[in-house]
């Protein structure tokens, strides 16, 4: 008798809303799908911004897809440029206009993507990976001013040789009005540029220091007095590949074009002669982020 009354009572309670029935899992609402954005590799992008303006498209840099995403985003914002995956002069000029539209000026509007401007450009369009961060512009290596990234690179290179790396000329001469060497032609006006002392070093030590710098992501050469008619003493000159603070002024790219020369085995001087570094001291083209495993 009790079993007979159970069903009608349960039915009545259910109808009155006093019994809650479970909703099948298959009927539960699904969370909205989060769109997966394409990724811009900033390390490859900034290296291309150094090389491709002077040397043309270089697929070996691995930046083409990233550059194309940046070009499409620039065009969408009104800074029209062909989306060809080549970070040439036209893309540099478009990026300068974009940087200026954000209020940047001077070295901050040099056409090389910085992490903040790139993130803003990519909002809703792409994510940014392998971010290049130069850190403070007021660090020192010894007594010479450099940015944090350059200091880290020098520290890593210094650790691989049993002698001390001494910086004789640093970066940001224009910003500090410190007055760089005239023979440098403006290559030390902003970030990523250094000269090293070689006096007292043997020939092997000089070339080994060049190699150590190259291994951590510098474009580096041994400069000799004979290369400029005696206008400078023997020294090592180096540019941090991928640095976002390289100078651009009045259409001249100076140290950026030196990186482009280094990429194709040239010496970074006005005559673009072949790199005189002995083969045993040469290393593959790389960046600090790749060397340090920064992702």
Degrees to nearest 5, angle at CA 285 with 284 and 286: 110
Q: Where are the domains of the chain?
A: 39-129, 139-292
Residues 6+ apart with CB under 8 A from 76: 125
pLDDT truncated to tens, each residue of the chain (295 aa)? 434 444 454 444 444 454 444 445 555 666 666 679 999 999 999 999 999 999 999 999 999 999 999 999 999 999 999 999 999 999 999 999 999 999 999 899 999 999 999 999 999 999 999 999 999 999 999 999 999 999 999 999 999 999 999 999 999 987 665 657 665 667 788 899 999 999 999 999 999 999 999 999 999 999 999 998 888 899 999 999 999 999 876 667 788 999 999 999 999 998 999 999 999 999 999 999 999 998 6
Q: For the stretch 39-74, what's the b/e string if a residue is b when 16 or more beta carbons lie within 10 angstroms of its beta carbon?
A: ebbbbbbbbbbbbbbbbebbeebebbebbbbbbebb
Is 72 strand, coil or helix? helix
- pTM comes to 0.86
Q: What sections of the chain are H helices per DSSP?
A: 2-15, 42-55, 64-76, 89-101, 115-121, 148-158, 173-176, 203-215, 255-263, 288-292
For domain 39-129, which CATH number applies: 1.10.3470, 1.10.101, 2.60.40, 1.10.287? 1.10.101
């Amino acid at each position: 008798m009790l079993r007979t009354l159970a069903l009608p009572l349960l039915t009545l309670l259910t109808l009155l809303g006093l019994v809650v029935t479970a909703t099948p899992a298959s009927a539960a609402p699904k969370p909205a799908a989060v769109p997966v954005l394409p990724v811009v590799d900033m390390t490859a992008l900034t290296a291309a911004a150094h090389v491709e303006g002077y040397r043309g498209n270089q697929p070996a840099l691995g930046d083409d897809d990233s550059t194309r995403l940046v070009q499409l985003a620039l065009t969408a914002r009104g800074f029209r440029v062909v989306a060809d995956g080549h970070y040439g002069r036209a893309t540099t000029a478009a990026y300068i206009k974009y940087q200026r539209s954000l209020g940047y000026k001077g070295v901050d509007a040099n056409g090389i993507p910085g992490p903040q401007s790139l993130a803003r450009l990519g909002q809703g369009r792409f994510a940014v990976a392998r971010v290049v961060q130069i850190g403070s512009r007021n660090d020192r290596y010894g007594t010479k001013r450099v940015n944090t990234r350059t200091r880290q690179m020098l520290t890593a290179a210094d650790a691989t040789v049993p002698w001390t790396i001494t910086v004789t000329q640093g970066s940001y001469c224009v910003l500090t009005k410190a007055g760089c060497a005239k023979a440098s032609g403006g290559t030390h006006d902003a970030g990523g540029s250094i000269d090293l002392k070689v006096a007292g070093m043997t020939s092997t030590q000089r070339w080994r220091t060049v190699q150590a710098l190259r291994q951590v992501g510098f474009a580096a050469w041994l400069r000799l007095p004979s290369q400029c008619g005696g206008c400078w003493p023997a020294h090592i000159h180096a540019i941090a590949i991928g640095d976002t603070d390289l100078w651009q002024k009045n259409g001249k790219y100076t140290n950026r074009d030196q990186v482009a020369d280094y990429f194709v085995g040239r010496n970074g001087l006005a005559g673009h002669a072949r790199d005189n570094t002995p083969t045993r001291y040469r290393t593959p083209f790389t960046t600090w982020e790749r060397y340090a495993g920064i992702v």
